[in-house]
């Protein structure tokens, strides 16, 4: 047990290290900060709500950097895309935070925030799930036909539409092999940053699909590039939270130490899979997070009287972290078996390398 | 692994391990010496009484806690120090019972040289989650350079741990090659 003097909580260190590890694994694999999982977990451990958000955002900045370093080694970062997006992301985050403050003044921030979370996450889940299933079927067909499959299989037509927008300057993102107007990248940064700032999260679960489906980056590059954004937006968020006094640095430290191991595993795991596998995990994380948000919304709308709803939301969120972590571990194990020529379930070969 | 490559991996791993260890040690020392808490509970943001909110968490309306008011340099147990906005907080203070709360007289009341606390915490809600909201952290302002220090330490530790892990895999000879995104497999 450790006495977190600033937060006023006595909690076991291993719990924070464990949360750091699981979220680090998931975050390193799908390119998210994992704020929607960490904040509830910290509240369950007894951290006050404001403190949970601050600790979460601060640890995301450190963990994002750990994952970024590994993704850089794997060649998953397009620096042109990442740096073009930074200013847009920061502007978007600031606008989102201001809108949230406005709704707080109106006294309806809780309901609006949860409702927006549900709509955004469910829409993203639906699109990602439909498109990824289509890509998976295509990959399975190619496997049956004995064709070589690229690392990325993507079936959406949206990127070609956005890449045709002719506004100057046009940038060449060499790693992602994308030629696109810089304003498209900046726009993606502003919109995803806005939603991230408004929802109080790092925004990875919005930015990764946006980079894949709007800009046309491959999923691996979207994950690596998004983690660079998370370092910037997380660092900015950490500064704001620290100034407000919402951060216990010892809790942050233990979580980063756990995240170091998880982020290594999650990042390296991406080299074992194809793009659709990452998008599958992303979409499952979105639907689970949506279910959690729906339960919390129902709890708020019922005047916080049905305690079971809050309890279920917490259990779902904690279960989600462990489920996703185990899913990623099994994918890597299947990939290793497949490489060795051993038997794997029929849906695996087209998803792993 | 070639001799030169292995040598570079050893140097890289040892260097970044040393950097990470020194940063973690610096943070641990700041925690033990009380500097982290002192930076955190730094200045009064409102007018009221600085307290250590942990000392009266068990108070109830039936058995209220009584805090002695005085100009103490360090708060020991159930004591309260009057502060104005912008005043430096006394040592060991971690929250302020605001003048407005005392004026309302519901959660706490001022009675001569004592403050009587009847409701030390209430259940609040954040993003659909309930938590125990105490007087801790209320009405305080953190040291601005402390916030910058937090961010610098977080990024510094992240950077050092990231390169340390990279050095470790290099040291073990685990060859992580760049992913060939646009080649068939």
Task: Give the confidence band of B102 by pLDDT, cuts at 50, 70, 90.
Answer: very high
User: For A86, which DSSP code?
Assistant: H
Given a cut of 90, whether residue B51 has pLDDT beyond it is yes
Instruction: Determine the pLDDT at residue A1.
Output: 82
Say yes or no to pLDDT of B48 above 60: yes
**Residues 6 or more apart whose Cβ sits within 8 Å of residue B28:** none
Backbone angles phi, psi at A36, to 5 degrees: -70, -10
* Digit-coded pLDDT (tens) for A193-225: 888 878 767 788 889 999 999 999 999 999 999
In sequence order, what are the beta bridge partners of B68?
Answer: B79, B114
With cut-offs at 50, 70 and 90, classify the pLDDT of residue B130: low
| Contact residues, chain A, for B162 at CB < 8 Å | 65-70, 260, 263
A260 to B161: CB separation less than 8 angstroms, yes or no: yes
- Residue A242 and residue B132: Cβ atoms within 8 Å? no
ipTM of this predicted complex? 0.87
CA distance A188 to A174: 19
Q: Which residues of A touch B24 (CB under 8 A)?
A: 253
CATH number of B43-141: 2.170.190
SS3 of residue A2 by DSSP: strand
Q: Looking at the complex, does the CB of residue B185 fall below 8 Å from at least one CB of chain A?
A: yes
Task: Confirm or reject contact between A46 and chain B (CB < 8 A).
Answer: yes
Burial of A304 (0-12, 13-18, 19+ CB in 10 A): middle
- Residue A242 is predicted with a pLDDT of 86
Nearest to A256 among B41, B125, B161 (CB): B161
Of the pLDDT bands very low, low, confident and very high (cuts 50, 70, 90), residue B2 is low
**Running DSSP on this structure, what letter comes out for residue B177?**
P
Which regions in chain A score pLDDT beneath 50? none
- Write down the pLDDT at residue A256: 95
pLDDT of B160 reads 96
Q: Does B37 touch chain A (CB under 8 A)?
A: yes
Confidence of residue B178 (pLDDT cuts 50, 70, 90): confident
Q: Looking at chain A from residue 246 to 285, which residues have their Cβ under 8 Å from any Cβ of chain B?
A: 247, 249-250, 252-253, 256-257, 260, 263-264, 268, 270-271
Report the candidate in A211, A329, A238 with the shortest Cα–Cα distance to residue B158: A238
Judged by DSSP in three states, A18 sits in: helix
Smallest Cβ distance to A43: which of B131, B142, B144? B131
Residue A233, exposed/middle/buried by CB under 10 A (0-12, 13-18, 19+)?
buried
Residues near B178 by Cβ (< 8 Å), separated by ≥ 6? A73, A74, A75
- What's the pLDDT at A51? 81
Domain residue extents for chain A: 2-339
Residue B1 has pLDDT above 60, yes or no: no
Radius of gyration of chain B (CA): 25
**What pLDDT was estimated at residue B129?**
65
pLDDT band for position B128 (50/70/90)? low
86-145 of B, contacting A, C-beta below 8 A: 94, 124-134, 136-137, 140-142, 144
């Amino acid at each position: 047990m450790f006495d977190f003097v600033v937060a006023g909580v006595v909690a076991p260190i291993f719990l924070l290290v464990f949360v750091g590890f699981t979220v680090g694994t998931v975050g390193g694999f799908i390119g998210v900060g994992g704020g929607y999982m960490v904040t509830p977990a910290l509240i369950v451990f007894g951290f006050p709500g404001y403190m949970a958000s601050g600790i979460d955002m601060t640890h995301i900045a450190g963990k994002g950097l750990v994952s970024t370093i590994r993704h850089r080694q794997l060649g998953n970062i397009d620096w042109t895309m990442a740096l073009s997006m930074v200013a847009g992301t920061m502007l978007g985050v600031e606008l989102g935070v201001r809108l949230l403050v406005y709704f707080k003044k109106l006294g309806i921030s809780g309901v609006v925030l949860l409702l927006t979370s549900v709509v955004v996450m469910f829409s993203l889940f639906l699109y990602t799930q439909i498109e990824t299933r289509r890509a998976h079927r295509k990959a399975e067909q190619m496997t049956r036909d004995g064709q070589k499959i690229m690392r990325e299989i993507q079936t959406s037509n949206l990127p070609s539409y956005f890449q045709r927008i002719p506004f100057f300057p046009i940038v060449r993102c060499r790693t992602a092999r994308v030629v696109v107007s810089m304003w498209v990248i900046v726009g993606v940064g502003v919109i995803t940053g806005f939603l991230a700032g408004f929802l109080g999260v790092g925004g990875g679960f919005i930015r990764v699909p946006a980079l894949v489906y709007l800009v046309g980056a491959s999923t691996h590059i979207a994950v690596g590039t998004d983690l660079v954004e998370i370092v910037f937006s997380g660092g900015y968020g950490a500064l704001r939270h620290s100034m407000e006094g919402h951060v216990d640095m010892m809790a942050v430290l233990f979580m980063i130490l756990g995240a170091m191991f998880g982020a290594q595993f999650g990042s390296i795991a991406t080299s074992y899979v194809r793009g659709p596998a990452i998008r599958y995990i992303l979409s499952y994380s979105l639907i689970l997070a949506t279910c959690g948000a729906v339960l919390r919304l129902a709890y708020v709308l019922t005047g916080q009287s049905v305690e079971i709803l809050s309890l279920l939301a917490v259990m779902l969120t904690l279960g989600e972290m462990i489920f996703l972590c185990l899913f990623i571990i099994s994918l890597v194990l299947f990939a290793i078996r497949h490489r060795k020529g051993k038997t794997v379930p029929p849906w695996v070969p087209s998803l792993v390398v | 692994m070639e001799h030169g490559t292995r040598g570079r991996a050893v140097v890289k791993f040892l260097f970044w391990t040393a950097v990470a260890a020194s940063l973690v040690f610096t943070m641990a020392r700041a925690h033990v010496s009380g500097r982290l808490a002192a930076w955190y509970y730094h200045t009064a943001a409102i007018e009221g009484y600085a307290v250590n909110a942990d000392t009266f968490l068990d108070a109830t309306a039936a058995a209220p806690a009584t805090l002695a008011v005085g100009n103490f340099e360090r708060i020991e147990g159930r004591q309260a120090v009057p502060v104005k906005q912008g005043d430096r907080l006394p040592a060991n203070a971690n929250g302020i019972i605001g003048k407005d709360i005392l004026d309302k007289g519901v959660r706490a009341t001022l009675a001569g040289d004592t403050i009587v606390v009847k409701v030390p915490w209430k259940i609040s809600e954040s993003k659909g989650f309930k938590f125990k909201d105490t007087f801790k952290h209320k009405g305080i302002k953190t040291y601005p350079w402390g916030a910058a220090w937090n961010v610098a330490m977080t990024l510094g530790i992240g950077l050092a741990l990231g390169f340390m892990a990279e050095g470790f895999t290099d040291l073990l000879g685990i060859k992580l090659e760049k992913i060939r995104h646009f080649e068939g497999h």
